[in-house]
Structure 1
Amino acid sequence: MKARIYVTLKEGVLDPQGAAIRGALANLGFEGVEGARQGKFIELVLMEDDRDKAEASVKAMCEKLLANTVIENYSFELE
């Protein structure tokens, strides 16, 4: 089973990398971008066939290691 995990900064948390991306895009002539937020994408291959167990495992991984839940949100999908 594959897990695709998306980690993003919570609203209100400063995102200097996102600001740099927005500035660079403007410098390249892409003027229509009002804001940019940067995040992480993580793909895991799990040796688990039980969807409920896989979901619980990925949630625990996110809470313990993959996301800093004080300043980041996460979501995931299983395939």
Structure 2
Amino acid sequence: MKARVYVTLKNGVLDPQGEAVRHALGSLGFEGVTGVRQGKVMDLDLEASDAAAAEADVAKMCEKLLANTVIEDYRIEILGA
């Protein structure tokens, strides 16, 4: 089974990388971009066969390692086999 985890900064948390990307896009002529929030995506290959159990395990992984839950939110997508 495969799972995809999206990790993004919580609203209100300063995102210097996103601001650097927004500035660079402006420098390249893309003037209409008023904000950029940067995040990360992780794809996991799991041995689980039950989607609910897999999602519960991935949530534990996020809480313990994959996301800094003080400043980041995460979203889990179970992709199947």
- Shorter-chain TM range is over 0.9
2:4 is matched with which residue?
4
Q: What RMSD over aligned residues (CA atoms) do the two structures have, in Å?
A: 0.5
Give the gaps of 5 or more residues in structure 1. Answer: none
Q: Deviations over 1:11-62 (max 9, x none)?
A: 0000000000000000000011000000010000101101121011000000
Deviation above 3 Å: which 4+ runs of structure 1? none
Letter of the 1:9 counterpart = L
Residues of 1 paired with 2:20 and 2:39: CA distance?
13
2:64 is matched with which residue?
64
Residues of 1 paired with 2:27 and 2:52: CA distance?
47
Q: Normalised by the size of structure 2, how large is the TM-score?
A: 0.95
Give the gaps of 5 or more residues in structure 2. Answer: none
Q: Give me the identity figure in percent.
A: 66
